[in-house]
Amino acid sequence: MTKSYKVSGMTCGGCARSVEGAIKGAIPGASVTIDLPTGQVTVEPADDAKVEKAVSEAGFGFGGAA
C-alpha cells in the first residue's frame, strides 16, 4: 500500500537523498518519492513505524501521515 508522510527539515536534494536512503534501508525494495517544497514523502509499500524510525534517525522531523 502506498502512503504519504510529512517530513520536516529537508532543505536540499542532499536531505532528500538522506531520507530516501534511510527509508530504503528500513524497507528494502521500497519505492520512495519525495516532494522537497512540501516535505511530502510517499512510500510504497508503507510501514508507519519503520518510516518514522528511519526519518528520525536520519535527523529529520516525522510529522505523521500527510
Across the beta sheet with 40-44, the strand order is 31-35, 40-44, 3-8, 61-65
Query: Which range binds Cu ion by CB under 5 A, 10-18, 24-32, 39-47, 49-57?
Result: 10-18
Contact 54, 23 (CB under 8 A): yes
From CA 23, how far away is CA 41, in angstroms rounded? 10
Q: How far is the CB of 55 from Cu ion (least distance, A)?
A: 14
Tell which positions 11-40 bind Cu ion, by CB under 5 A.
Answer: 11-12, 14-15
Distance in Å, CB of 18 to Cu ion, minimum: 7
* Contact footprint for Cu ion (CB under 5 A): 11-12, 14-15
